[in-house]
Amino acid sequence: MSLLTIILSFLSVYGPLISVLGGIFGGEETLILFSIFAAHNVISIWVVAIFFYIGILISDTIWFFVGKTELFNRIVSGKSASKIYGYWDKLLDKATKGNDFQALLITKFLYGFRLITIMYLSRERLDLKNFILYSIIVDAIWISVITTIGWLTGKGIAAAANISNNLELVLILIGLSLLAFFLIMRFLSILVKRWLIKKQKQ
């Protein structure tokens, strides 16, 4: 039995647990990969979406509490970190006009900004009740978008596999799909960041 077969079998049997862990410790690429596997009937797309959703809610809540710790307060109060934090404070507040829901939604799709935004809002003004309410909606939108992209990508790969019946080609296409998704998300992150800066200057 090959390593790939063992991994896919493990994912099929322990799909809910792996999906939750993927939501807690992974990100967009993990969700895309699981959705691709779902398109190949390795795991149910609903198992991926629901349990990854639970995992990402847990992850976001953990980072929300991290934002309220004394350690985080000390970090952002440091000389170098305080400048970056202050810049992000002005940029986010100006661009979203103090709309916490909008801030969470926009930065959810930005590489490198989700966690700092959660911790920033936790430290500055957002209480747990509203954070959970916003996160339930924002994470549902995020999960829907990313799983749809991954599932459609997986179906395209499945079609190519049926034509060639070549496992190596399937693995290559999965790798290329993840790379393409990463590059596209980085490009969109740059565009949105420029939009935020533009909004700040207005």
> What pLDDT, in 10s, does the model give residues 139-181?
999 999 889 888 888 887 776 665 455 556 666 667 777 777 6
Low-confidence ranges of the chain (pLDDT < 70): 1-4, 7, 79-84, 86-89, 94-95, 159-173, 181, 184-186, 188-202
pLDDT of residue 24: 94
pLDDT of residue 120: 87
Distance CA 197, CA 96 (A): 11
Using alpha carbons, list the distances in angstroms from residue 134 to 76, 77, 117, 172: 24, 27, 13, 38
pTM: 0.79
Residue type, 32: I
Distance CA 197, CA 94 (A): 9
pLDDT of residue 14: 87
pLDDT of residue 199: 56
Q: Which residues span the domain enclosing 66?
A: 3-201
126 CB burial (10 A radius; 0-12, 13-18, 19+): buried
Tally of domains in the chain: 1
